[in-house]
Amino acid sequence: MRNWIQTFSIIDFISVGILLTAISMNAIRRLESCVKAYMLNSWLLSLLIAIIAFMINETHLYVAAVTTFLSKGMLIPLFMKRIVRQIKITHDVDPYISNSLSLVISGILVAVVYASLREGVFVTGVSKNALQISVAVILIGLLIMITRRKAITQIIGLLFMENGLFLAGFSMTFGMPTIIELGVLFDLLMGVIILGFFAVQIRKAFMSSDLDKLTVLKG
């Protein structure tokens, strides 16, 4: 089984899947599909953690895989879907830049990350590509955050960033101690709940979930 994983470089396949689900965000307009893309991304992430756990035989990584799946793969997507329904907005129309331009920028980001992290301080045990991919996912998440108008898409961009961060964490260090992982996940969960709550409040208070309306405070 282990040989099989190595010969077919399954870990790289899954990492690329994580990257592709992040890139697909550039083309998706429907908010529910955005949430689905995030869900798929998280499932791949937890699968990756489980495979790493299997490869190096670490029990605490199995725990991490399960908790990641439960929180990022189930709880947060369900919560986000509820928020999308509550806000009653289905599409993110006219973002700041067009689909094709944002796809091109994502491509350039990936290329830049690969060029700059080709050789360097990091030697990872599991895969040569995981670190580059994770940094690329973080940057694409950031790109999504700054080019979209809706509060929800910004939250999803943030969630993609955090997934990239987790990928970086696991590919570099084989995971933190379990208690710390649980704490980080808990913080993330709380943060998303609060952000979702604020998104609903913004919708109520400003009669719109476009963040353009949030420009009163400046200077």
Partner 1 sequence: MAMIIILFMPIITATVCYLLKNHRLVGYANLAGASALAVFAIPTILSFVSNPGTALNGMLYMDALSVYIMVLVILLGLASSAYSIGYLEHEFDMKLMDVKGIRRYYLLLHIFIFTMLLVTVANNLALMWIAIEATTIVSAILIGLGFTKRQLAIEAAWKYIMLCTVGITFALLGIFIIYYASTAVNGTKGELNWTALKEIAGRLNPATMKLAFIFVLVGYGTKAGLAPMHNWLPDAHSQAPSPISALLSGILLNTAFYGIIRVIAIVEPSTGAIFTGNLLIIFGLISIGISAVFILVQENYKRLLAYSSIEHMGIVSLGVGIGGVLGFYGALLHILNHAISKPLMFFASGRIQACYGSTKIENVNGVLSSKPLLGMLTFAGVLSLAGSPPLNIFISEFTILKAGVDKGLWAAVGLFLFFAVIVFYGMMSGFGKILFKGKNNIPPKEEGCEHRKFPMSWLNNGVMIVMALLILMLGVSIPEFLDKTIRACISVIGVR
Give contact residues for partner 1 (rule: CB under 8 A): 120-122, 138, 142, 145, 151, 154, 158, 161-162, 165, 168-169, 172-173, 176-177, 180, 183-184, 186-187, 190-191, 194-195, 197-198, 201-202, 205-206, 211, 214, 216-217, 219
Helices 10-24, 151-173: axis angle to 10 degrees equals 160
Distance CA 189, CA 19 (A): 22
CA distance 54 to 61: 9
Give the separation between CA 41 and CA 163, rounded to whole angstroms.
8
Nearest approach in angstroms of CB 56 to partner 1 is: 10
Beta carbon of residue 7, minimum distance to partner 1 (angstroms, whole number): 26
Closer by beta carbon to partner 1, 20 or else 211: 211
Could you tell me which of 76, 55, 84, 90 has the C-alpha nearest to residue 174? 55
Q: Which two structure tokens, joined as six digits, stand for 23?
A: 């890139």
Closest distance of CB 181 from partner 1, Å: 9
Question: Residue 184 Cβ, how far from partner 1 at the closest point, in Å?
Answer: 6
Q: Give phi and psi for 123, each to the nearest 5.
A: -125, 110
* Residue 87 one-letter amino acid: I
Comparing CB distances to partner 1, the nearer of 1 and 216 is 216
Q: How many CA atoms lie within 13 A of 106 on its CB side?
A: 27
Q: How far is the CB of 203 from partner 1 (least distance, A)?
A: 10
**Of 10 and 60, CB closest to partner 1:** 60
Residue that the structure tokens 């604020």 belong to: 198
**Bridge partners (DSSP) listed for residue 150:** 210
Q: Which is nearer to partner 1, 1 or 121 (CB)?
A: 121
Nearer to partner 1, 48 or 161 (CB): 161
Q: How far is the CB of 189 from partner 1 (least distance, A)?
A: 10
Shorter beta-carbon distance to partner 1: residue 56 or 104 = 56
